Amino acid sequence: MLVWKDILRPVSILLPIESTIQEALVLLESSKLDLLLVDDSHQGIVGYIDRPFLLGQITASGDLSGQVEYRKDMVRVPAESPISFYHNIHVVLGMDQAGNIAGYTSASEAKNHLGQYKLEQLNHIFNSSGIGIITTDPHFEITFMNETAEQILGLPKTVLQYRNYKTLLTIDKDLEEVLSGKQLLSVESSINYKRISGNFSPLYENGKIIGIVHIFSHRERLGEAVNELEFVRNISDDLQAIYSSENEQIIVVNHAGKIVRIAGTFLRDFWQVQTPEQLIDSDVYQLERAGIFYPNIADLCMTQKKKLSMIQESQKGRMVWSVATPVFHGDKLEKVVILSRDITGIHVMRPELEMSGRKAKDHDPDMDEILTRQDNLRKLVYRSKGMERLVDEVKHIAQVDSTVLLVGESGVGKEVFAQTIHEYSARKNEPFIRVNCGALPESLIESELFGYEKGAFTGADQKGKPGLFELAHKGSIFLDEVTELPYPMQAKLLRVLQEREIMRVGGTRTFPVDVRVIAATNQNLKELVRSRKFREDLYYRLHVIPIEIPPLRKRTPDIIPLAIHFLKRFNSLYHLDKSLTREALNALEGYAWPGNVRELQNVIERLVVTTRKDNIGTEDVLPHLYVEEDRGRENKTLVLDIMPLREAVEEVENQLISLALKKYGTASKVAKILGVSPATLSRRIQKFLQ
């Protein structure tokens, strides 16, 4: 398996962020590098420039003294992790276990290395199989032969390469037929007095025949050679799947349900055996009946005769995301190729997060608008290391009663974190009360939070009513959007936090309350304190244990697990069986998600409900990501005043891209219609979103 550290370049030269275009050009030329990493003395590496991007700046401005611009489409990955590719990412920074940068590479370099690695694997497979392979160009000149071919023929490739294969072979078949698309099977021939038997097939590139390929074995071993040739034909099909996969297990199941081949990354924890050889010739139906896994995706694929994707679970609770593809020989289903990736590392916390607690006998039903009862579908789903560390911290602080302040952008899941803290605390069997401070009418905030005595004000219940803090007694109260509390109410909340007692509106006595306070905000509290919009003393009371929840764009590994989680939820909710293609998942992973997890959830629900086919592809995903980003941009540009020409051009470009994506659906079609390369279109879209 090839990992990032195997291909990383050392970071030897950095370009200061304040450099001019001329300084960047001089450094790029003198270093002989393809690109330079841009360094900010405060933030570290923030981007990069390459030759085409720098030349574009020079062409656009013509002024070499201006500050150099840089690109940001890069990603940080663990240096020890297997190579995989990210949507719209050009540069990869490898991080060591200490969190330092171990090196860098470009996506194109990584693909070249991976392609070379797979080619070496392919050569090893063929050389180990005992099968000779010779390829020629359209003029029958030998272009390639493997080591086994040299051994069978007793001639080195230095003697045979570039010689006319047609004149060297003794054969009673016309090889010209192969160049017209015909395949010659089990053909006997000889060369250098060696009798061989094998197949001649057209060699294709981009749908065009560019030569022939001869796969053969010793004539004396014909019986064995037939089996080996079948093996080669089989792995030829399988390699198509291997080449397009990333760190996945490949299982080949024949039409009778027998496992005939296993390649790629073997998921031994899922299968509960140590080596893939132990599974060869196993019957998938027997494995299913034995409870080794469920469901049987191979059987479903053979029954429905179409490509399927789903999550499979093992007896020990391991989960894999599997994609099964049927392979036909003519009209006959021959086998199923299954690509599987272990997703057990996706942590799902709180399988059932329900708001437990009691209701006061005189609880007002109208309070249901404020007390949000959670169903059993609210979960913390994550896979990134950063989130794993954060959840460990949450589980640790849940054991104490200190006030917690959750900080993060809107939609990152602050409420789910609050529920998790409650569920991991000693108060988990007591009430969990959620209060949306921004939804409470200002005139009723005090009475809703602290309750009121009978006759406290006009229209009050004659029996009085307990407040939310009373209802949360012995449990936890979650103050969402706490910065929306009016300034006078902040002083009363401060008293509750200090004295741990409340007084109802219109009352004369205090009630002790034992409650764990969890507050949340998406604003900068320090800034609000400086501008005197939030009390400084209350800030310090709330800021006992601050927890910052990162936005989804900073935890990219969580996007696909969350998408799969929401897909399962909405499939179950609407009684559907939709699936996301690999390309669709890549498109979701490459999006910035300004609305965070909430936006991702909404997009998945919209795709499940509106997509009419079972497989949701990129053509379905892209319009929901890029076209609806800003409805206001759909209006035609109307020039009412003078504006910089560059801004005007960018506005027209943005509108053209939005309209084209809405009309044609896929980025490739849009690039063709607009007359630009897909890479250029991708850069324009990213700039548009930023």
359 and 299 share a domain?
no
User: Residue 508 belongs to a domain with what CATH number?
Assistant: 3.40.50.300
Q: How far apart are CA 322 and CA 342, in angstroms?
A: 9
Start-to-end C-alpha separation, the chain: 36
Query: Please, are residues 90 and 18 in contact by the beta-carbon 8 Å criterion?
Result: no
Asked if 212 and 272 sit in the same domain, the reply is no
* Residues 6+ positions from 438 with CB-CB distance below 8 Å: 480, 481, 484
Position with higher pLDDT, 101 vs 373: 101
Residue 461 has pLDDT above 90, yes or no: no
Q: Which one of 293, 325, 342 terminates a domain?
A: 342
Residue 122 lies in a domain: no
The candidate with the shortest Cα–Cα distance to 329, out of 263, 255, 261, 259, is: 255
Residue, of 592 and 343, whose pLDDT is higher = 592
Mean pLDDT of the residues in the chain: 81
Q: Assess whether 422 and 525 both reside in one domain.
A: yes
> Within this chain, do residues 466 and 379 fall inside the same structural domain, yes or no?
yes
Assigned domain for 499 exists: yes
The CATH number of the domain holding residue 60 is 3.10.580.10
Domain match, 155 and 268 both: no
Considering the domain architecture, whether residues 461 and 606 belong to the same structural domain is answered as no
In this predicted structure, the answer to whether residue 535 has a pLDDT above a threshold of 50 is yes
Give the total number of structural domains in the chain. Answer: 5
Please check whether residue 71 lies inside any domain of the structure.
yes
| Residue pLDDT, tens place only, 182-219 | 999 888 898 877 888 889 999 888 888 999 999 888 76
Tens of pLDDT, residues 594-623? 899 999 999 999 999 999 888 898 888 888
Structural domain that includes position 579? 562-689
Instruction: Please give the Cα distance from 338 to 12 (Å, whole number).
Output: 43
Helix %, strand %, coil % of the chain (to 5):
40, 25, 35
| Tokens standing for residue 435 | 């209060």
Give the residue-averaged pLDDT of 219-229: 52
The beta-carbon contacts of 460-465 under 8 Å, at least 24 apart in sequence, are 460/506, 461/362, 461/364, 463/362, 464/362, 464/504, 465/360, 465/362, 465/363, 465/364
Do 541 and 577 belong together in one domain? no
Domain boundary among 181, 216, 240: 240
The domain boundary residue, chosen from 115, 144, 170:
115
Query: Which has more pLDDT, 457 or 27?
Result: 27
Assign residue 221 the CATH number of its domain. 3.30.450.20
Judge whether 81 lies within some domain. yes
Per-residue pLDDT tens digits for 362-396: 444 333 333 333 333 356 888 888 888 898 899 99
Residues 374 and 470 in one domain: yes
User: How much is the CA Rg of the chain, to the nearest whole Å?
Assistant: 32
686 band by pLDDT with thresholds 50, 70 and 90 = low
At residue 96, the 3 state secondary structure works out as coil
Q: What is the pLDDT of residues 13-32, one digit of tens each?
A: 999 999 999 999 999 888 88
Q: In what order do the strands lie in the sheet with 14-16?
A: 14-16, 35-40, 44-50
Confidence band of 518 (pLDDT split at 50, 70, 90): very high
| 305 and 354 belong to one structural domain | no
Let me know whether 491 and 354 are in one domain: yes
pLDDT in tens, 481-504: 999 888 888 888 898 888 888 888
Tell me: do 105 and 36 sit in the same domain: yes
Give 73's DSSP letter: -
Residue 411: helix, strand or coil by DSSP?
coil
Q: Which of 43-52, 138-147, 372-381, 632-641 has the lowest mean pLDDT?
A: 632-641
In the chain, the percentage of residues whose pLDDT exceeds 90 is 26
At 226-261, the pLDDT tens digits run: 454 454 455 555 454 444 445 578 899 999 999 998
272 Rama class: left (phi>0) / alpha (psi -120 to 50) / beta: left
Q: What is the DSSP letter of 325?
A: E
* Per-residue pLDDT, 632: 42
Mean pLDDT of 313-341: 85
Residue 448 lies in a domain: yes
Q: Residue 644: give its domain's CATH number.
A: 1.10.8.60
Q: Classify residue 364: in a domain, yes or no.
A: yes
Q: According to the model, what pLDDT value does residue 111 have?
A: 86
Q: Looking at the structure, tell me whether residues 187 and 277 fall in a common domain.
A: no
Task: Reply yes or no on whether the pLDDT at 360 is more than 70.
Answer: no
User: Cβ–Cβ contacts within 10 Å for residue 18, how many?
Assistant: 11
Q: How would you class 593 by CB atoms within 10 Å of its CB: exposed for 0-12, middle for 13-18, buried for 19 or more?
A: buried
Judged by average pLDDT, the poorest of 141-145, 459-463, 624-628 is: 459-463
Is 576 within 8 Å of 528 (Cβ atoms)? no
**pLDDT, tens digit, 9 for 90 and up, residues 550-567:** 999 888 888 988 998 899
pLDDT tens per residue across span 522-534: 999 999 999 988 9
pLDDT at 682 exceeding the cut of 80: no
**What pLDDT is attached to residue 457?**
61
Residue 457, domain member (yes or no): yes
| Contact between residue 431 and residue 475 where contact means Cβ atoms under 8 Å apart | yes
Predicted pLDDT at 377? 36
Question: Predicted confidence band at 633 (pLDDT cuts at 50, 70, 90)?
Answer: very low
Average pLDDT over residues 455-470: 71
- What pLDDT is attached to residue 18? 92
Q: What is the pLDDT of residue 221?
A: 56
Look at residues 575, 603, 587 and name the one whose alpha carbon lies nearest to residue 685.
Answer: 587
Alpha helices in 272-330 (DSSP H): 284-289, 297-304
* Alpha carbon distance 61, 52 (integer Å): 14
Is residue 43, in this structure, part of any structural domain at all?
yes
Report whether pLDDT(49) > 90. Answer: yes
Residue 212's pLDDT is what? 93
